[in-house]
């Protein structure tokens, strides 16, 4: 019997509906071919954010144990993220670490928070998109990766091509050296192309015309197909995403509802920089601007002025009149509830009010329910106090309130005078709560079919992969997969080895460029 092997093939932000649209246009043929022999499903990913979800899916534990809740830790008194997380913040070994401790080896490509600083493990690695430096290991793979990146240097950084250049280069490098990449026990290969394009250019992805996008989708598909065929019948294949990403139909300004309930206090700031960068600088004459800005800060008149201004901007396209005009945005330092940007997936009770934390959390949930009732839009899919859903040594860092948006709603509005729910044109996309997966097991393993059917939560993917590899589960695993599928799963403690590897990484990583937001 061949040694057990697992291919974990990831596509960030792929939902079933986007998968079907791409399949209909002749893309992702590798997955289309896998689908008929796979157990398919989807999981409610909570919160539907890239770093915590891939970390849960590959470690088998919840954010309260691995410590990754978002893109970086939040200072709850200011709502700022002073830095981004790096690999050392991940407080639980992931599948490739565990495989390494058991004497196996892995190929890890673009796993968020896997590569900076590099934590040593047996196998090969292509750095992830959160790494401040693009590199691959070992050297022969690095050479290919750098050459492929160099070849795509002219793909513009701003446009859609710039968003997919890393994926295209990584896929091309893997295909280039594929003969040397066929002997690992475990593969984690993730591409960001779907999520990266859905955010700002959904049309470019859903009806791909740009050659750079077609090329990237073909290369990604080629990598998947080559590996699936190389191990046909012998490997267990998990093809999965970390959440969905769909075009947005409504923008939701949750702080407006919290502001009306007195939970958020305003401060007045000129319009966001994004607008200034997009349009040539032109603004109202400064005396007029001064009057407008004085009016904006008056309670009732302010709302009227902003309402007229927004209409002129939105309907007439007069973007320039918004230049320099102040608008009320949340002032975290004076607010009871702190709503960090850029999306409201996590709220915090200002530490000054921590004595009343539970009451405030309950009030926020109530305000959100009322806002959904009064607007007639169920814009929240799920809302939970962080400490009710996350457990472990990092429980104390959990957001006080965790949200996931319902499909089609972008929880990202900032202007406290904007309507709570506003229709938008669907020219951008955002995360949706459900991911997708298809799991095809190696031949002659009915136990694995049962296990695949029992995948229900983010941490079940790691439990499934480890079981398929014949490796004991980490002792603190959060997955109920083994008992649900009536499997006999051994457990082991990998923690001290992981801590040792991290200490080594911290020493090796000294002098590395610092990550900051």
Q: Are 252 and 411 in contact (CB under 8 A)?
A: yes
* Residue 50 interacts with Zn ion (CB under 5 A): yes or no: yes
3-state secondary structure of 39: strand
What is the per-residue binding string for Zn ion in 188-217, x denoting contact by CB under 5 A? Answer: -------x----------------------
CA distance 423 to 250: 4
Residues 6 or more apart from 179 whose CB is under 8 A from it? none
Please give the distance of CA 167 from its chain centroid, rounded to a whole number.
16
* Contacting residues for 388 by C-beta, under 8 A, at least 6 apart: none
> Of 10, 13, 79, 392, which lies in the binding site for Zn ion, with binding defined by CB under 5 A?
13
Q: How far is the CB of 511 from Zn ion (least distance, A)?
A: 30
- For the CB of residue 195, give the shortest distance to Zn ion in the complex, in Å: 5
| Closer to Zn ion by Cβ: residue 242 or 400 | 242
Smallest distance, Zn ion to C-beta of residue 49, A: 7
Q: Determine the Cα–Cα distance for residues 502 and 496; give it in Å rounded to an integer.
A: 10
Which of the 8 DSSP states describes residue 76? T
Q: Which is nearer to Zn ion, 185 or 195 (CB)?
A: 195
Q: Tell me the window of 10-18, 314-322, 407-415, 462-470 that interacts with Zn ion (CB under 5 A).
A: 10-18
Q: Which of residues 221-280 bind Zn ion (CB under 5 A)?
A: 242
DSSP state of 322: G
Q: Looking at beta carbons only, is 329 or 411 nearer to Zn ion?
A: 411
Of residues 185 and 242, the one with the C-beta less far from Zn ion: 242
Distance of CA 189 to the CA centre of its chain: 16
Residues 68-127 that bind Zn ion (CB under 5 A): none
Report in angstroms the alpha-carbon separations of 126 from 143, 236, 238, 397: 11, 22, 19, 30
Q: Is 267 helix (H, G, I), strand (E, B) or coil?
A: strand
Instruction: Report, in Å, the least distance between residue 196 CB and Zn ion.
Output: 9
Distance CA 108, CA 123 (A): 8
Choose among 3, 210, 208, 11: nearest CA to 109: 11
How near is the Cβ of 12 to Zn ion at its closest, in Å? 4
Q: How far is the CB of 435 from Zn ion (least distance, A)?
A: 9
Find the shortest distance in angstroms from Cβ 199 to Zn ion.
10
**Which is nearer to Zn ion, 74 or 130 (by Cβ)?**
130
Taking the complex as a whole, the smallest distance from the CB of residue 174 to Zn ion amounts, in Å, to: 20
Closest CA to 386 of 349, 342, 435, 340: 349
Place of tokens 């949340």: 330
Nearest-approach distance from CB 204 to Zn ion, in angstroms = 18
Nearest residue to Zn ion, by Cβ distance, number only: 50
Contact 104, 124 (CB under 8 A): no
Question: Are 422 and 32 a contacting pair, CB within 8 Å?
Answer: no
Residue placing its CB nearer to Zn ion in the complex, 13 or 332? 13
Residues 23-42 that bind Zn ion (CB under 5 A): none
Q: Is the peptide bond prior to 268 cis by the omega test (within 30 degrees of 0)?
A: no
Q: How far apart are CA 190 and CA 177, in angstroms?
A: 17
CB of 51 to Zn ion, least distance (A): 8
Region near Zn ion per CB under 5 A, out of 43-51, 162-170, 291-299, 488-496: 43-51
Nearer to Zn ion, 13 or 433 (CB): 13
Looking at the Cβ atoms of 48 and 67, the one nearer to Zn ion is: 48
Is the Cβ of residue 50 or residue 59 nearer to Zn ion in the bound state?
50
- How near is the Cβ of 63 to Zn ion at its closest, in Å? 14
Q: What is the 3-state secondary structure (H, E, C) of 292-311?
A: HHHHHCCHHHHHHHHHHHHH
User: Nearer Cβ to Zn ion, position 50 or 473?
Assistant: 50
Q: Could you tell me how many residues of this chain bind Zn ion (CB under 5 A)?
A: 5
Q: Which of 5, 6, 7, 12 binds Zn ion (CB under 5 A)?
A: 12
Distance of CA 230 to the CA centre of its chain: 30
**H/E element holding 238?**
strand 235-240
Segment interacting with Zn ion, rule: CB under 5 A, options 11-19, 23-31, 32-40, 93-101: 11-19
Peptide bond before 273: cis, by omega within 30 degrees of 0? Answer: no
- Pick the closer one to Zn ion by CB: 85 or 231: 85
Q: Which stretch binds Zn ion (CB under 5 A): 5-13, 61-69, 313-321, 440-448?
A: 5-13
Q: Which DSSP state fits 108?
A: E
Q: Does 58 bind Zn ion (CB under 5 A)?
A: no
Q: Which spans of this chain sit near Zn ion (rule: CB under 5 A)? A: 12-13, 50, 195, 242
């Amino acid at each position: 019997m061949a040694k057990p092997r697992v291919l974990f093939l990831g596509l960030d932000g792929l939902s079933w509906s986007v998968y079907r649209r791409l399949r209909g246009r002749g893309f992702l043929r590798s997955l289309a071919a896998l689908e008929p022999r796979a157990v398919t499903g989807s999981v409610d990913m909570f919160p539907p954010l890239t770093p915590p979800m891939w970390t849960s899916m590959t470690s088998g534990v919840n954010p309260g144990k691995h410590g990754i809740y978002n893109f970086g830790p939040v200072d709850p008194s200011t709502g700022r993220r002073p830095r981004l997380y790096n690999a050392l913040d991940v407080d639980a070994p992931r599948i490739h670490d565990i495989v390494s401790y058991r004497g196996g080896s892995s190929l890890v490509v673009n796993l968020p928070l896997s590569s900076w600083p590099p934590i040593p493990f047996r196998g090969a690695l292509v750095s992830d998109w959160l790494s401040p430096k693009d590199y691959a290991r070992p050297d022969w793979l690095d050479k290919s990766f750098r050459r492929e990146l160099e070849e795509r240097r002219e793909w513009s950084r701003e446009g859609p091509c710039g968003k997919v250049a890393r994926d295209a280069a990584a896929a091309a490098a893997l295909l280039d050296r594929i003969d040397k990449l066929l002997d690992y026990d475990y593969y984690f290969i993730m591409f960001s192309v779907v999520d990266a394009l859905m955010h700002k250019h959904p049309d470019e992805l859903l009806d791909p015309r740009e050659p750079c996008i077609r090329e990237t989708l073909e290369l990604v598909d080629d990598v998947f197909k080559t590996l699936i065929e190389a191990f046909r019948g012998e490997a267990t294949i998990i093809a999965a995403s970390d959440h969905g990403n769909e075009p947005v139909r409504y923008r939701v300004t949750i702080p407006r509802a919290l502001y009306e309930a007195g939970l958020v206090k305003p401060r007045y700031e000129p319009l966001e920089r994004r607008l200034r960068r997009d349009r040539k600088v032109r603004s109202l004459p400064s005396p007029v601007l001064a009057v407008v800005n004085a009016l904006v800060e008056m309670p009732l008149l302010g709302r009227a002025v902003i309402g007229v201004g927004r209409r002129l901007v939105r309907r007439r396209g007069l973007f320039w009149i918004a230049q320099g005009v102040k608008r009320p945005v949340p002032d975290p330092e004076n607010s009871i509830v702190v709503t960090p940007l850029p999306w409201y997936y996590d709220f915090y009770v200002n530490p000054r009010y921590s004595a009343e934390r539970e009451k405030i959390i309950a009030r926020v949930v109530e305000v959100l329910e009322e806002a959904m009732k009064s607007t007639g839009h169920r814009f929240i899919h799920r809302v939970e106090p962080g400490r009710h859903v996350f457990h472990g040594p990092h429980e104390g860092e959990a957001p006080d309130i965790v949200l996931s948006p319902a499909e089609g709603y972008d929880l990202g509005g900032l202007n406290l005078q904007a309507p709570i729910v506003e229709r938008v044109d669907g020219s951008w996309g955002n995360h949706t709560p459900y991911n997708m997966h298809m799991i095809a097991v190696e031949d002659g393993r009915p136990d694995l079919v049962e296990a695949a059917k029992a995948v229900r939560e983010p941490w079940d993917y790691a439990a499934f992969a480890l079981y398929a590899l014949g490796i004991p589960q980490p002792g603190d695993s959060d997955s109920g997969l083994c008992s649900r599928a009536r499997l006999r799963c051994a457990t082991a403690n990998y923690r001290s080895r992981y801590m040792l590897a991290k200490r080594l990484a911290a020493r090796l990583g000294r002098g590395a460029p610092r990550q900051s937001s």
